[in-house]
Structure 1
Amino acid sequence: MVLLGVVANLLFALPAVFAPNAVISLVGGAPVAEPVWPAFAAWLLILLSLFYLPAAFDPFHYRAIAVLTVLARFAGVVFFTLLHPQFPLFALIDLFFGVTQGVLLLLLRRAEKTA
Protein backbone atom coordinates (compact mmCIF):
# COMPACT_ATOMS: atom_id res chain seq x y z
CA MET A 1 0.00 0.00 0.00
CA VAL A 2 2.93 2.32 0.66
CA LEU A 3 4.25 1.66 -2.82
CA LEU A 4 0.83 2.40 -4.29
CA GLY A 5 0.85 5.68 -2.37
CA VAL A 6 4.27 6.53 -3.79
CA VAL A 7 2.95 5.88 -7.29
CA ALA A 8 -0.07 8.12 -6.59
CA ASN A 9 2.26 10.87 -5.37
CA LEU A 10 4.43 10.56 -8.46
CA LEU A 11 1.42 10.71 -10.78
CA PHE A 12 0.77 14.24 -9.55
CA ALA A 13 4.28 15.37 -8.65
CA LEU A 14 6.27 14.43 -11.76
CA PRO A 15 4.08 16.41 -14.17
CA ALA A 16 3.85 19.26 -11.65
CA VAL A 17 7.63 19.70 -11.62
CA PHE A 18 7.56 20.51 -15.33
CA ALA A 19 4.07 22.00 -15.79
CA PRO A 20 2.80 23.12 -12.37
CA ASN A 21 0.01 25.35 -13.67
CA ALA A 22 -1.37 22.53 -15.79
CA VAL A 23 -1.58 20.23 -12.76
CA ILE A 24 -3.04 23.00 -10.60
CA SER A 25 -5.71 23.63 -13.24
CA LEU A 26 -6.39 19.91 -13.52
CA VAL A 27 -7.28 19.69 -9.82
CA GLY A 28 -9.44 22.82 -9.90
CA GLY A 29 -7.03 25.56 -8.85
CA ALA A 30 -6.18 28.82 -10.52
CA PRO A 31 -2.83 29.15 -12.30
CA VAL A 32 -0.16 30.94 -10.29
CA ALA A 33 2.10 33.78 -11.40
CA GLU A 34 5.24 32.18 -9.93
CA PRO A 35 5.09 28.51 -10.95
CA VAL A 36 8.51 27.80 -9.46
CA TRP A 37 7.02 27.35 -5.97
CA PRO A 38 4.39 24.73 -6.83
CA ALA A 39 7.04 23.00 -8.97
CA PHE A 40 9.39 23.00 -5.98
CA ALA A 41 6.62 21.65 -3.73
CA ALA A 42 6.12 18.84 -6.25
CA TRP A 43 9.87 18.17 -6.17
CA LEU A 44 9.72 17.95 -2.37
CA LEU A 45 6.82 15.50 -2.66
CA ILE A 46 8.97 13.30 -4.90
CA LEU A 47 11.78 13.41 -2.33
CA LEU A 48 9.35 12.68 0.52
CA SER A 49 8.03 9.70 -1.42
CA LEU A 50 11.55 8.33 -1.74
CA PHE A 51 11.86 8.41 2.05
CA TYR A 52 8.80 6.12 2.25
CA LEU A 53 10.54 3.33 0.35
CA PRO A 54 12.62 1.77 3.16
CA ALA A 55 9.49 1.32 5.28
CA ALA A 56 7.62 -0.13 2.31
CA PHE A 57 10.20 -2.88 1.89
CA ASP A 58 11.04 -3.58 5.56
CA PRO A 59 8.64 -2.01 8.07
CA PHE A 60 10.10 -4.09 10.92
CA HIS A 61 13.61 -2.77 10.47
CA TYR A 62 12.50 0.77 9.57
CA ARG A 63 9.80 1.01 12.23
CA ALA A 64 10.15 4.76 12.84
CA ILE A 65 9.98 5.51 9.13
CA ALA A 66 6.87 3.33 8.81
CA VAL A 67 5.14 5.32 11.55
CA LEU A 68 6.28 8.64 10.08
CA THR A 69 4.95 7.53 6.69
CA VAL A 70 1.47 7.19 8.15
CA LEU A 71 1.76 10.42 10.14
CA ALA A 72 2.88 12.31 7.03
CA ARG A 73 -0.31 11.23 5.26
CA PHE A 74 -2.43 12.61 8.08
CA ALA A 75 -0.38 15.83 8.07
CA GLY A 76 -1.36 16.13 4.40
CA VAL A 77 -5.01 15.69 5.33
CA VAL A 78 -4.77 18.50 7.88
CA PHE A 79 -2.90 20.75 5.45
CA PHE A 80 -5.38 20.30 2.61
CA THR A 81 -8.45 20.35 4.86
CA LEU A 82 -7.68 23.32 7.08
CA LEU A 83 -5.23 25.46 5.12
CA HIS A 84 -6.11 24.79 1.49
CA PRO A 85 -9.62 23.35 1.29
CA GLN A 86 -9.84 24.30 -2.39
CA PHE A 87 -7.92 21.08 -3.10
CA PRO A 88 -10.09 18.38 -1.48
CA LEU A 89 -8.76 15.70 -3.85
CA PHE A 90 -5.34 15.85 -2.20
CA ALA A 91 -6.91 15.60 1.27
CA LEU A 92 -8.95 12.59 0.19
CA ILE A 93 -5.95 10.84 -1.34
CA ASP A 94 -3.90 11.36 1.82
CA LEU A 95 -6.84 10.27 3.99
CA PHE A 96 -7.27 7.06 2.00
CA PHE A 97 -3.59 6.16 2.18
CA GLY A 98 -3.23 7.32 5.80
CA VAL A 99 -6.11 5.15 7.01
CA THR A 100 -5.20 2.07 4.99
CA GLN A 101 -1.50 2.28 5.77
CA GLY A 102 -2.24 2.95 9.44
CA VAL A 103 -4.55 -0.05 9.71
CA LEU A 104 -2.07 -2.28 7.91
CA LEU A 105 0.76 -1.08 10.14
CA LEU A 106 -1.29 -1.83 13.26
CA LEU A 107 -2.14 -5.30 11.95
CA LEU A 108 1.52 -5.88 11.18
CA ARG A 109 2.49 -4.84 14.71
CA ARG A 110 -0.11 -7.23 16.19
CA ALA A 111 1.15 -10.07 14.03
CA GLU A 112 4.70 -9.28 15.14
CA LYS A 113 3.73 -9.45 18.82
CA THR A 114 1.96 -12.80 18.43
CA ALA A 115 4.79 -14.34 16.44
Structure 2
Amino acid sequence: MNGPHAWFRRAIWLGILANWSLALPAIFLPNAVLSLGGLPLALETPVWPAFAALLLALLSCFYIPGAVDPDRYRATAIMSVLARLAGVVFFLVLWPDRYPAFGYLDLVMLLIQAPLLYLTLRGRPEVVPPALPSAYPAEARP
Protein backbone atom coordinates (compact mmCIF):
# COMPACT_ATOMS: atom_id res chain seq x y z
CA MET A 1 0.00 0.00 0.00
CA ASN A 2 1.48 3.32 -1.06
CA GLY A 3 1.78 6.50 1.00
CA PRO A 4 -1.17 8.65 -0.15
CA HIS A 5 -3.46 5.61 -0.19
CA ALA A 6 -2.67 4.75 3.42
CA TRP A 7 -2.84 8.38 4.54
CA PHE A 8 -6.20 8.88 2.81
CA ARG A 9 -7.62 5.86 4.61
CA ARG A 10 -6.31 7.19 7.94
CA ALA A 11 -7.74 10.65 7.23
CA ILE A 12 -11.19 9.22 6.48
CA TRP A 13 -11.10 7.14 9.67
CA LEU A 14 -10.02 10.24 11.60
CA GLY A 15 -13.06 12.06 10.24
CA ILE A 16 -15.34 9.16 11.10
CA LEU A 17 -14.02 9.06 14.66
CA ALA A 18 -14.33 12.85 15.01
CA ASN A 19 -17.94 12.69 13.85
CA TRP A 20 -18.78 9.81 16.15
CA SER A 21 -17.10 11.46 19.14
CA LEU A 22 -19.39 14.44 18.62
CA ALA A 23 -22.52 12.61 17.50
CA LEU A 24 -22.84 9.72 19.94
CA PRO A 25 -22.94 11.83 23.12
CA ALA A 26 -25.18 14.38 21.39
CA ILE A 27 -27.76 11.73 20.57
CA PHE A 28 -28.37 11.15 24.27
CA LEU A 29 -27.37 14.51 25.80
CA PRO A 30 -27.78 17.13 23.08
CA ASN A 31 -27.85 20.16 25.36
CA ALA A 32 -24.79 19.03 27.30
CA VAL A 33 -22.82 18.73 24.06
CA LEU A 34 -24.10 22.08 22.82
CA SER A 35 -23.14 23.77 26.08
CA LEU A 36 -19.63 22.25 25.97
CA GLY A 37 -19.22 23.86 22.57
CA GLY A 38 -20.55 27.19 23.78
CA LEU A 39 -23.53 26.86 21.45
CA PRO A 40 -27.12 27.91 22.08
CA LEU A 41 -29.16 25.25 23.86
CA ALA A 42 -32.27 23.63 22.46
CA LEU A 43 -34.30 23.88 25.64
CA GLU A 44 -37.75 23.49 24.11
CA THR A 45 -36.98 20.84 21.49
CA PRO A 46 -33.72 18.98 22.12
CA VAL A 47 -34.98 16.20 19.87
CA TRP A 48 -33.82 18.09 16.74
CA PRO A 49 -30.15 18.42 17.67
CA ALA A 50 -30.27 14.81 18.89
CA PHE A 51 -31.74 13.73 15.55
CA ALA A 52 -29.12 15.75 13.65
CA ALA A 53 -26.47 13.93 15.71
CA LEU A 54 -28.04 10.59 14.79
CA LEU A 55 -27.93 11.55 11.11
CA LEU A 56 -24.26 12.53 11.46
CA ALA A 57 -23.46 9.16 13.04
CA LEU A 58 -25.31 7.35 10.24
CA LEU A 59 -23.66 9.47 7.54
CA SER A 60 -20.28 8.57 8.99
CA CYS A 61 -21.13 4.88 8.65
CA PHE A 62 -21.44 5.41 4.91
CA TYR A 63 -17.83 6.65 4.82
CA ILE A 64 -16.51 3.27 5.98
CA PRO A 65 -16.33 1.44 2.61
CA GLY A 66 -14.26 4.27 1.11
CA ALA A 67 -12.02 4.23 4.17
CA VAL A 68 -11.48 0.48 3.91
CA ASP A 69 -10.78 0.32 0.16
CA PRO A 70 -10.90 3.61 -1.75
CA ASP A 71 -9.98 1.86 -4.99
CA ARG A 72 -12.87 -0.56 -4.94
CA TYR A 73 -15.32 1.93 -3.40
CA ARG A 74 -14.14 4.93 -5.41
CA ALA A 75 -17.57 6.61 -5.51
CA THR A 76 -17.95 6.29 -1.73
CA ALA A 77 -14.47 7.73 -1.18
CA ILE A 78 -15.25 10.68 -3.43
CA MET A 79 -18.66 11.27 -1.83
CA SER A 80 -17.16 11.20 1.67
CA VAL A 81 -14.88 14.10 0.71
CA LEU A 82 -17.68 15.95 -1.08
CA ALA A 83 -19.83 15.58 2.05
CA ARG A 84 -17.15 17.56 3.91
CA LEU A 85 -17.43 20.29 1.28
CA ALA A 86 -21.20 20.33 1.78
CA GLY A 87 -20.67 20.79 5.52
CA VAL A 88 -18.32 23.70 4.90
CA VAL A 89 -20.82 25.39 2.59
CA PHE A 90 -23.72 24.79 4.97
CA PHE A 91 -22.06 25.98 8.16
CA LEU A 92 -19.69 28.67 6.85
CA VAL A 93 -21.59 30.07 3.85
CA LEU A 94 -25.31 29.50 4.34
CA TRP A 95 -25.39 29.80 8.15
CA PRO A 96 -22.08 31.50 9.04
CA ASP A 97 -23.09 32.89 12.42
CA ARG A 98 -24.82 29.87 13.88
CA TYR A 99 -22.44 26.92 14.31
CA PRO A 100 -19.12 27.87 12.70
CA ALA A 101 -17.14 25.29 14.70
CA PHE A 102 -18.84 22.50 12.75
CA GLY A 103 -17.92 24.21 9.49
CA TYR A 104 -14.30 24.65 10.54
CA LEU A 105 -14.07 20.98 11.51
CA ASP A 106 -15.35 20.00 8.07
CA LEU A 107 -12.98 22.52 6.44
CA VAL A 108 -9.95 21.05 8.20
CA MET A 109 -10.99 17.53 7.25
CA LEU A 110 -11.66 18.64 3.65
CA LEU A 111 -8.23 20.27 3.36
CA ILE A 112 -6.62 17.05 4.57
CA GLN A 113 -8.77 14.54 2.68
CA ALA A 114 -9.18 16.19 -0.74
CA PRO A 115 -5.49 16.26 -1.71
CA LEU A 116 -5.01 12.75 -0.35
CA LEU A 117 -8.00 11.55 -2.36
CA TYR A 118 -6.55 13.11 -5.50
CA LEU A 119 -3.16 11.48 -4.92
CA THR A 120 -4.81 8.16 -4.08
CA LEU A 121 -6.97 7.98 -7.19
CA ARG A 122 -4.54 9.62 -9.62
CA GLY A 123 -3.52 7.13 -12.25
CA ARG A 124 -5.19 4.18 -10.56
CA PRO A 125 -7.54 2.11 -12.67
CA GLU A 126 -11.07 1.84 -11.40
CA VAL A 127 -11.66 -1.55 -9.81
CA VAL A 128 -14.78 -3.11 -11.27
CA PRO A 129 -16.22 -6.07 -9.38
CA PRO A 130 -16.69 -9.21 -11.49
CA ALA A 131 -20.08 -9.63 -13.10
CA LEU A 132 -22.50 -11.93 -11.37
CA PRO A 133 -23.34 -15.08 -13.28
CA SER A 134 -26.63 -14.98 -15.10
CA ALA A 135 -29.58 -16.81 -13.60
CA TYR A 136 -30.37 -18.21 -17.04
CA PRO A 137 -28.26 -20.72 -18.94
CA ALA A 138 -26.57 -19.34 -22.06
CA GLU A 139 -28.86 -21.23 -24.42
CA ALA A 140 -32.00 -19.82 -22.73
CA ARG A 141 -30.91 -16.18 -23.04
CA PRO A 142 -32.56 -14.10 -25.77
TM-score, structure 2 normalization:
0.75
User: Which residue does 1:89 correspond to in 2?
Assistant: 101
CA distance in 2, matches of 1:11, 1:84: 23
Contact 1:28 1:87 in 2 (8 A): no
Q: 1:71 aligns with which of 62, 65, 82?
A: 82
CA distance in 1, matches of 2:36, 2:90: 19
CA distance in 2, matches of 1:84, 1:25: 19
Q: Does 1:55 align with 2:66?
A: yes
Segment drifting more, 80-89 vs 98-107:
80-89
Unpaired runs of 5+ in structure 1?
none
Which one has a bigger Cα radius of gyration? Answer: 2
Residue correspondence of structure 1 range 17-32 to structure 2 within 5 A? 17-32=27-42
Q: Percent identity?
A: 53
User: Which residue does 2:21 correspond to in 1?
Assistant: 11
Q: Deviation at 1:23? A: 1.1
Aligned residues: 113
Contact 1:81 1:88 in 2 (8 A): yes
Give the secondary-structure state (helix, strand or coil) at the position aligned to 1:112. coil
Unpaired runs of 5+ in structure 2?
1-10, 126-142
The CA RMSD measured in Å over matched residues stands at 1.2
Q: Deviation at 1:28? A: 1.9
